[in-house]
A and B are shown apart, each in its own frame.
Chain A
Amino acid sequence: MNSLLDGVPRVITAGASLLEESLRAQAIETVPVAWRPPLPGTEEALARVLADPRRPEANARAVQRLLAAHPQLVGVVRASEILPERTFLHAGPPITWERASGPMRGALIGAMLLEGHADDPEQAGRRIGTMTLDSCHHHRTVGPMAGLVSPSMWLFEVRDAVHGGTAYCSLNEGLGKVLRYGAYGPEVLDRLRWMDQVLGPALRDALLRTGPIDLRALIAQALQMGDELHNRNRAATSLLLRELAPAIVEAAPGHAAEVLRFINGNDHFFLNAGMAAGKVCTDAARDVPGSSLVVAMARNGTDFGVQLSGLGERWFTGPAGVPDGLYLGAYGPDDANPDIGDSTITETGGLGGFAMAAAPAIVRFVGGEVADAVNATRSMYEITLAEHPVYQIPGLGFRGTPIGIDVTLIARTGILPVVNTGIAGRVAGTGQVGAGLVKPPVEAFTTALTALANSISPQ
Chain B
Amino acid sequence: MNELVTLRRGIYHDSVSLMRVSKALSDLPGVEVAIVAMATTLNVGLARDLGFEVPACEPSDLLVAVRADDPAAAADELDRLLDALSRQSAAQAADLPPRTTRAAARSVPAGLALVSVPGEHAFAEALDALEAGLNVMIFSDGVSLEQEVRLKALARAAGLLVMGPDCGTAVIAGAGLGFANVLKPGPVGVVAASGTGAQHVTCLLDRAGVGITHVLGVGGRDLSAEVGGLATIQALRMLDADPATELIVLISKPPDPSASATVQAVVAELSTPVVQAMLGATDLTSATAEALRVLGRAVPEWPSWEPDSGGRAAGGRLLGLFSGGTLCQEARLVAGHGDFTDFGDDAYTRGRAHPMIDPSLRLEALDKAEEGDTVLMDVVLGHGADPDPAATLAPAIAAAPARVVVCLVGTEGDPQGLGDQVSALTRAGAWVFTSNADAARFAGGGAR
> Do chains A and B stick together as partners?
yes
- Residues of A at the B interface (CB closer than 8 Å) are 1-20, 22-23, 25-26, 28, 31-38, 40, 43, 46-47, 50-51, 56, 375, 378-379, 381-382, 408-409, 412-413, 415
Option from A5, A35, A51 in Cβ contact (under 8 Å) with B125 = A35
Supply 7 A–B pairs (Cβ within 8 Å), ascending by A: A5-B239, A12-B113, A35-B125, A36-B12, A37-B60, A378-B95, A379-B96
Query: Are A22 and B384 closer than 8 Å at their CB atoms?
Result: yes
Query: Are A31 and B107 closer than 8 Å at their CB atoms?
Result: yes
Query: Are B175 and A34 closer than 8 Å at their CB atoms?
Result: no
Q: CB-CB < 8 A to B174: which residues of A?
A: 8
Q: How far is the CA of A16 from the CA of B384 in the complex (A)?
A: 11
Q: How far is the CA of A381 from the CA of B97 in the complex (A)?
A: 12
Give me the 3 closest cross-chain CB pairs, A-B, nearest first: A9-B111, A15-B116, A34-B97
Of the candidates A7, A11, A15, the one having the most CB atoms from chain B within 10 angstroms of its own CB is A15
Query: Are B98 and A382 closer than 8 Å at their CB atoms?
Result: yes
Q: How far is the CB of A48 from chain B (nearest CB, A)?
A: 11
Query: Are A37 and B59 closer than 8 Å at their CB atoms?
Result: yes
Query: Are B17 and A34 closer than 8 Å at their CB atoms?
Result: no
In this complex, how many residues of chain B approach chain A with their Cβ under 8 Å: the count is 76
Q: How far is the CA of A11 from the CA of B114 in the complex (A)?
A: 7
Query: Are A12 and B96 closer than 8 Å at their CB atoms?
Result: no
Asked whether any CB of chain A lies closer than 8 Å to the CB of B188, the reply is no
The segment from B73-81, B133-141, B202-210, B224-232 found at the interface with A is: B133-141
Q: How far is the CB of B334 from chain A (nearest CB, A)?
A: 31
Q: How far is the CA of A76 from the CA of B398 in the complex (A)?
A: 91
The segment from B25-33, B86-94, B247-255, B322-330 found at the interface with A is: B86-94
Given A19-B178, A26-B383, A375-B96, A47 and B110 contact (CB-CB distance below 8 Å): no
Given A1-B159, A12-B101, A33-B104, A19 and B111 contact (CB-CB distance below 8 Å): no
Q: CB-CB < 8 A to A415: which residues of B?
A: 99
Asked whether any CB of chain A lies closer than 8 Å to the CB of B187, the reply is no
Query: Are A8 and B114 closer than 8 Å at their CB atoms?
Result: no
List B residues 1-38 near A (Cβ within 8 Å): 12-17, 20, 38
Asked whether any CB of chain A lies closer than 8 Å to the CB of B357, the reply is yes
Q: CB-CB < 8 A to A2: which residues of B?
A: 135, 159-161, 238
Q: How far is the CA of A12 from the CA of B38 in the complex (A)?
A: 23
List B residues 83-133 near A (Cβ within 8 Å): 88-89, 92-93, 95-118, 120-121, 123-125, 127, 129, 131
Q: How far is the CA of A7 from the CA of B114 in the complex (A)?
A: 16
Query: Are A5 and B116 closer than 8 Å at their CB atoms?
Result: no
Q: CB-CB < 8 A to A6: which residues of B?
A: 173
Query: Are B147 and A51 closer than 8 Å at their CB atoms?
Result: yes
Q: How far is the CA of A378 from the CA of B99 in the complex (A)?
A: 12
Q: How far is the CA of A37 from the CA of B242 in the complex (A)?
A: 38
Query: Are B100 and A409 closer than 8 Å at their CB atoms?
Result: yes
Query: Are B110 and A4 closer than 8 Å at their CB atoms?
Result: no
Residue of A nearest to B88 (CB): A17
Option from B20, B98, B111, B176 in Cβ contact (under 8 Å) with A34 = B98
Option from A1, A51, A56 in Cβ contact (under 8 Å) with B131 = A56
Option from B99, B112, B114, B118 in Cβ contact (under 8 Å) with A4 = B112
Asked whether any CB of chain A lies closer than 8 Å to the CB of B395, the reply is no
Option from A16, A22, A37 in Cβ contact (under 8 Å) with B383 = A22
Q: How far is the CA of A34 from the CA of B117 in the complex (A)?
A: 11
